Each structure stands twice: as C-alpha cells, then as structure tokens.
Amino acid sequence: MTITIYHNPQCGTSRNTLAIIRQSGEEPEVIEYLKNPPSREKLIELIAAMAMTPRQLLRESGTPYAELNLGDPKWSDGEILDFMLAHPILINRPIVVTPLGTMLARPSEAVLDILPNPDIGPFTKEDGEVVIGADGKRIL
C-alpha cells in the first residue's frame, strides 16, 4: 500500500503526522516538498483531491505571505499557484495521500481518518499532548 506525505521535517505537525503513519505500520513515501516541490500539475491534483482552493492551502506563518500581500483577494487561483511554486514554504503541510483519501493533516491526528490501519495504539505528540490514550481511545 502506498502512502505519501509532503513533509517538512522542521514542522512539528508534519513530524507528528509522519510518526502516526509509521505507528500504523506503514512506511510512507516522504517527499520533502521544500527540497522537491510538486509540479504545478501535481499541486493542482492535490488541491482538487482535498476539495480545497489554492488560497485555502496557503500557509501564512513563517512564510513571505504578508510581504507578497497574498491576503489581497485580487490574486487569482492561478497566481496563488504561481506564488506557491516560486515559494514552496507557502504550501501548508503536511499533505498526506493514502488509498482512502488526500488531506491536509492539521491537526496531525486528522490523518487517522484516512489511514488503512487507524488503530495505532497509544500515541503522544512531541509536545506531550496525548492523542490516543493507553486504552486505545482517541482523546478529544
């Protein structure tokens, strides 16, 4: 089974999502999208699979979002894509693709909804937040 994660190893949410996938028994294809950004066609495909718009996938924090004035509604979807391709840090992460769907896994535990084996046992995020308790139940 193939699972792909568009990953930024500097991002805690991305690291936690990768850990959840691995704890489910899968070793995903890890694409460090800042080093190997998706093509325009692939980015369009991912956005469509998530039923999002390019603007909804824009990341603001830690990016040139403000400097590029990307909050201005004048930018078309095509122009937003152009910015994302020129500055991959603008692509929010992590994006996960599994046979059950494609999603922006924020928060990281959202990925459980598209994992073939979501029964991963206890899981605690890097910051100490318990996602799944010792009893195997998700903490809401």
Catalytically annotated residue among 11, 46, 57, 81: 11
The DSSP-derived string for the chain is ---EEEE-TT-HHHHHHHHHHHHTT--PEEEETTTSPPPHHHHHHHHHHTT--HHHHB--TTSSTTTTTTTSTT--HHHHHHHHHH-GGGB-S-EEEETTEEEE-SSGGGGGGG-S------EE-TTS-EEE-TTSPBP-
Q: Is 11 among the catalytic positions? A: yes
Catalytic residues: 11
